[in-house]
Amino acid sequence: MSSKKTERQLNLVICLLATRRFLTAREIRTTVAGYEEAEGDAAFKRMFERDKRELRDSGIPIETGGGDLWSGEEGYRILRAHYQLPEIELLADEAAVLGLAARAWRHAALGDAAAGALLKLRAAGVPVDTDAAPAITPVLGTDEPAFLPIWQAVRDRRPVAFDYRKPGDEVARRRLEPWGVVNVQGHWYVAGYDRDRGAQRVFRLGRIVGAVEIASAGPPVEVPEGVDVRSVVRRGRRGEPQNAARVLVRADSAHELRRGALRIVPGEHTAGGLRWDRIDLPYTDVADLVGAVARFGDRAVIEAPESARDAMAAHLAELAARDPDPETAAETDAEAEPAAATRRHSASSEQLRRLLMLVPYALSHDVRVPEVAAHFGLSQRQVLKDLSLLWMCGLPGYTPGDLIDVDLEAAEATGEIIIGNADTLAQPLRLTADEAASLVVGVELLGELPGVADSEALKRVGEKLRAAAAAPSGAADQAGGPHGARGGEAAEGPDDPLERLTGSVGVRIELGDDVRDVQRRCDEALRAGQLLHLRYLSGYVDEVTERDVDPMGLVVHDGHAFLEGWCRLRGDVRLFRLDRVLDLTVLPEPAEVPARARRRDLSEGVLQLSADDARITLDLEPSARWVTEEYLCSSVREAEGGGVRAVLRTPAPEWVCRLALRLGSQGRVVAPIEVAERVREEARRALSAYGAADLG
């Protein structure tokens, strides 16, 4: 059924592109192959309406207009000027920028849209350079299940409803008129008008529980004039610290606290040979301050204010009195990892979009079956099935001279794809709103990369993309969704769907001046081929190491900037987060990256699972659900009362001890039992600094 549907819809596209006048539904029924299978008028009407809707959803501008003058019946056609991708010329530097912009989405929800846009541009003869500047890697993640439906609602201007859980709160139903989505520090937020609260609100997509319902009826969402969605999201997040605590930190310890301190006063050595420094640490909330300091156990002690000191004593006392439960730990060891999600099968609409992209590309390029299979993530067998279907389609009449010519024997024998007699589909389809927006947002992300941010090519390619994707005068408002205007209605300047969508999407990477300076110097060393020396703060343990690094590339991922390079200390490729670089020196020595070194595959993120990782199970209270948003979990199961049981996999179990010290009563290490015991003992040692009685 799926292949027959694709064949019918492709024949409909070819017919409506070839006609010079509007064709009535009655004419289409008798002319286009596939509609003869409809049993009766009602069945045909349902079939035809569904086909029109799905084609418009795919960005195909079916227009309506005068059909039969005698009966007044409506007619349909596809105007080539509205269907075809307009001419776009890119200079070499612009092609490099565009290739980088498309890379940003390759492992994310809009990866297919970005890849489709590039294929259309290449089919139109645009020399998009995806191999340029291999040392720079922009990556956008969309791990939140709610991202796609929220994106679609913003695109189509539809209200949504969803269940939402803030840390520590019960699940609440929210009804929102979404204005836009913004990525801040690797997390996606949606801003809009909350119908129940009667005010603008910001929601983090990772905290949406279950499915998002998109309203299909009612008026479209109206975004207030002059609203800057990026500013709304920025204001909706937590404010700046307002208070300062006095904290004692042991020398050469608590490096993260030191980095955030307002002032550091070096101390004197004690009789035991230790030195304690005094720091002034900014904070907004006492509970957050306690958690931040507790991570460092007995190496950091709050001196003032007294309220924070008392809160820390209570926090540690609860951890110190908590005995591990061997029975529960044994139960978790027997729990199996959840099965990996299976890959969804190709739908008819996806197959149609593939064919409409493949034909113009194959007509203008030497392309082979393995290349097409790799591009679309298909088996070679499926590509051959697509070509067989294409061979059955063509102009009405469907004689050998009307049908598209596909050399199936060559495709099966050598993999070569040879297509002929397909002039009707020779020009690539105009970019959909999703495709164009994915590239425009990718260009925006490039503004955070050294060597690209100040490039004139960045500005020029953004302008050219908007011009190429803008709805032509008199074209349908094809926003990539079912809620655009009907064919024949003119798009009105500022209400152009692409401008509306890209204005509703933002990416913010908040790098401090010191981090940007490190990023710039890394880029200069990379281009000059020089060795780097780093003083680097580990992300797992409270330790600073000295590293000589042969730079291989720069990465922006999940709101953070990284240096990727060959670490001579570890003898392997490593990613170094630039905000953890305490000091950087460009050495007067050439970098020598070993021939065996390879850039890391970031399809699963920066932090990736390893067979050697320790599995640590935590029970988290509702207020600690943020742990599952911030850290890599191999399993998350709902528990009674709104909490969760999460399994973290990490190469450094001591890091989870620090996390458990931070969580206090909000989280508990269940297994392994040794880690739970270590948390208890570290809490007892830290508690002694607050004058608490010995707990034995």
Q: What is the DSSP string of 476-535?
A: ----SSTTSPPTTPPP-GGG-HHHHHHTTEEEE----HHHHHHHHHHHHHHHHTEEEEEE
SS3 48: helix
CATH fold for domain 527-590: SH3 type barrels. (2.30.30)
d(CA 187, CA 237): 12
- Of the chain, the percentage scoring pLDDT greater than 70 comes to 83
On the CB side of 463, how many CA atoms lie within 13 Å of its CA? 6
SS3 585: strand
Q: What is the DSSP string of 422-470?
A: -GGG-SPBPPPHHHHHHHHHHHHHHTTSTTTTT-HHHHHHHHHHHHHHS
Contact 32, 38 (CB under 8 A): no
Q: What is the pLDDT of residue 694?
A: 45
| Average pLDDT score over residue span 75-101 | 84
d(CA 673, CA 114): 47
Q: What is the pLDDT of residue 496?
A: 59
Which residues on neighbouring strands pair with residue 67, listed in sequence order? none
The type of residue at 82 is H
Q: Which two tokens stand for residue 564?
A: 């990727």
Task: Determine how β-strand 172-184 pairs with β-strand 505-508.
Answer: parallel
- Residue 692's alpha-carbon distances to 323, 392, 569, 687, 688, in angstroms, are 18, 83, 42, 6, 6
Q: What is the pLDDT of residue 86?
A: 84
Most confident listed range (130-144, 153-167, 347-361): 153-167
| Average pLDDT score over residue span 309-332 | 84
pLDDT exceeds 90 at position 626: no
Task: Determine how β-strand 160-164 pairs with β-strand 23-24.
Answer: unpaired
CATH fold for domain 1-78: Arc Repressor Mutant, subunit A (1.10.10)
d(CA 221, CA 602): 36
Contact 636, 657 (CB under 8 A): no
| pLDDT, tens digit, 9 for 90 and up, residues 495-536 | 556 666 666 776 666 677 888 899 889 989 999 999 999 999
Q: Using pLDDT thresholds of 50, 70 and 90, give the confidence band for residue 186.
A: confident
The type of residue at 326 is P
Q: What is the pLDDT of residue 533?
A: 97
Contact 167, 624 (CB under 8 A): yes
Which residues on neighbouring strands pair with residue 264, listed in sequence order? 279
Q: What is the pLDDT of residue 96?
A: 77
Q: What is the pLDDT of residue 375?
A: 77
Q: Which residue has the higher pLDDT, 231 or 301?
A: 301
Contact 559, 187 (CB under 8 A): yes
Closest CA to 533 of 522, 523, 520, 548: 548
| Average pLDDT score over residue span 138-149 | 78
Q: What is the pLDDT of residue 491?
A: 38
d(CA 153, CA 216): 10
- Residue 165's alpha-carbon distances to 159, 213, 628, 664, in angstroms, are 19, 16, 13, 21
Where do the CATH 2.30.30 domains begin and end in the chain?
Answer: 527-590
Closest CA to 212 of 158, 146, 156, 153: 146
Most confident listed range (164-178, 199-213, 453-467): 199-213
- Residues 6 or more apart whose Cβ sits within 8 Å of residue 432: 58, 59, 113, 116, 478, 480
Q: What is the pLDDT of residue 556?
A: 80
Where do the CATH 1.10.10.10 domains begin and end in the chain?
Answer: 1-78
Q: Which two tokens stand for residue 314?
A: 């209570």
Task: Determine how β-strand 136-139 pairs with β-strand 544-557.
Answer: parallel
Q: What is the pLDDT of residue 413?
A: 94
